[in-house]
């Protein structure tokens, strides 16, 4: 089979630029244009950016305005009953002692006595001559507390101290005439205080008995 020479058509094909089939860009001399390679897996739907998964029925969302409120026990929100100040027996006794001492002050000022000195005189009026050791036991005080009281009462001429002839380590205490006379003036103090507080005889007796029971139990608890 004989072929015809290309003749002038060959030069036309070499010099003329044309575009091949759509989607393929050709230039003359058989060179491809600079275009990105086609997607091997074409799709007609645009790609969506990745996002957080949407919670389903098992994970309900809270409103944006909702706030987290800690769950607290109603009992925990209130102070413990045993730690309320006004429910403490010790505080009630302490407040009562201060109030009673303050009520005694104007009555004892007329006698020239302080409340601790008044207690010493009460013990001496009751028991008469005694030793320092016995007095400290009766007052439930230590020697370091009682000794300054005795010195002041002695300076006021209400009592005298003498060392025992049989035991020099023991000091005996006795009222003077002036101390004995002061008893008459002090006799009205208990009744005056009772009238000021409004406490009647039976109430005073019951309260005193209860307080001595508290004292005995507290002393036992302290191991004394």
Residues 126-143 pLDDT 10s: 999 999 999 999 999 999
The H or E element containing residue 160 is strand 159-163
The more confident residue out of 128 and 165 is: 128
The predicted pLDDT at position 181 comes to: 97
Work out the pLDDT band at 63, boundaries 50, 70, 90. low
pLDDT at 163 over 70: yes
Look at residue 166 in the predicted model and tell me its pLDDT: 77
More confident residue, 38 or 22: 38
Q: What is the mean pLDDT of residues 42-53?
A: 53
Q: What is the mean pLDDT of residues 2-23?
A: 47
Look at domain 113-186 and name its CATH class.
mainly alpha
Q: 41 pLDDT exceeds 70?
A: no
State residue 27's pLDDT score: 46
Q: Which residue has the higher pLDDT, 73 or 192?
A: 192
The answer on pLDDT for 217 being more than 80 is yes
Please determine, for residue 160, whether its predicted confidence score (pLDDT) is greater than 50: yes
| Tokens read off for 83 | 């730690």
Burial (Cβ within 10 Å: 0-12, 13-18, ≥19) of residue 163: exposed
159, 153 contact by CB (below 8 A): yes
- The secondary structure element, H or E, covering residue 156 is none
Annotated domain spans of the chain: 113-186, 188-224
Q: Which residues, in sequence order, are bridge partners of residue 171?
A: 163
What's the pTM value of the predicted model, to 2 decimals? Answer: 0.63
Q: What band does 168 get if pLDDT is binned at 50, 70 and 90?
A: low
Most confident of 23-27, 97-101, 160-164: 97-101
55 versus 171: the higher-pLDDT residue is 171
pLDDT at 10: 45
pLDDT surpasses 60 at 179: yes
d(CA 22, CA 36) in angstroms, rounded, equals: 15
Contact 201, 159 (CB under 8 A): no
How do residues 70-125 score in pLDDT, each as one tens digit? 555 554 555 556 899 999 999 999 999 999 999 999 999 999 999 999 999 999 99
């Amino acid at each position: 089979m004989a072929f015809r020479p290309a003749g002038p058509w060959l030069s036309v094909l070499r010099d003329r630029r044309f575009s091949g089939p759509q989607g393929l860009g050709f230039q003359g001399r058989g060179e491809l244009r600079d275009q990105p390679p086609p997607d091997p897996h074409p799709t007609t739907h645009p790609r969506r950016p990745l996002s957080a998964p949407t919670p389903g029925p098992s994970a309900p969302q809270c409103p944006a305005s909702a706030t987290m409120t800690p769950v607290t026990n109603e009992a925990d929100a209130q102070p413990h009953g045993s730690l309320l100040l006004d429910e403490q027996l010790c505080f009630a006794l302490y407040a009562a002692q201060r109030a009673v001492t303050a009520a005694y002050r104007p009555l004892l000022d007329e006698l020239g006595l302080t409340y601790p000195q008044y207690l010493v005189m009460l013990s001496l009026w009751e028991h008469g001559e005694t030793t320092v050791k016995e007095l400290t036991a009766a007052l439930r005080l230590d020697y370091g507390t009682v000794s300054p009281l005795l010195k002041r009462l002695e300076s006021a001429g209400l009592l005298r101290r003498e060392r025992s002839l049989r035991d020099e380590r023991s000091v005996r205490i006795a009222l003077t005439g002036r101390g004995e006379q002061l008893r008459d003036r002090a006799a009205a103090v208990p009744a005056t205080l009772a009238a000021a507080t409004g406490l009647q005889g039976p109430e005073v007796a019951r309260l005193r008995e209860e307080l001595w029971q508290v004292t005995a139990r507290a002393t036992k608890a302290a191991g004394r």
